[in-house]
Amino acid sequence: MLSEKISKMLNDQVNLEFYSSNMYLQISAWCSSKGLEGGSHFFYKHSKEELDHMYKLFNYINDSGNIAIIGKIEEPPKSFSDFYSMIEKVYKHEQHVTKQITTLIDYCLSNKDYTTFNFLQWYVSEQHEEEKLIKGILDKSLMVQKEHIGIYMIDKYLSKISRDTTSS
Ligand code: FEO
User: Does the C-beta of 130 come closer than 6 Å to ligand 1?
Assistant: yes
CATH number at residue 89: 1.20.1260.10
User: Does the C-beta of 46 come closer than 6 Å to ligand 1?
Assistant: no
Closest residue by CA, ligand 1 atom 2: 94
State the Cα–Cα distance between residues 154 and 141, nearest whole angstrom.
Answer: 7
Residues in CB range of 140: below 8 A, 6 or more apart? 154, 157
Domain total in the chain: 1
pLDDT tens for residues 25-75? Answer: 999 999 999 999 999 999 999 999 999 999 999 999 999 999 999 999 999
Closest ligand 1 atom, CA of 54?
1
The rounded radius of gyration (Å) of the Cα atoms in the chain is: 17
State the Cα–Cα distance between residues 144 and 141, nearest whole angstrom.
Answer: 5
User: Does the C-beta of 17 come closer than 6 Å to ligand 1?
Assistant: yes
DSSP 3-state of 53: helix
pLDDT tens for residues 117-155? Answer: 999 999 999 999 999 999 999 988 887 776 667 777 788
79 alpha-carbon distance from chain centroid: 18
Question: Which range of residues forms the domain containing residue 9?
Answer: 4-164
Q: Are the C-beta atoms of 75 and 21 separated by less than 8 Å?
A: no
Question: How close is the Cα of 105 to the center of ligand 1, in Å?
Answer: 16
Share of the chain above pLDDT 70, in %: 95
pTM of the model: 0.87
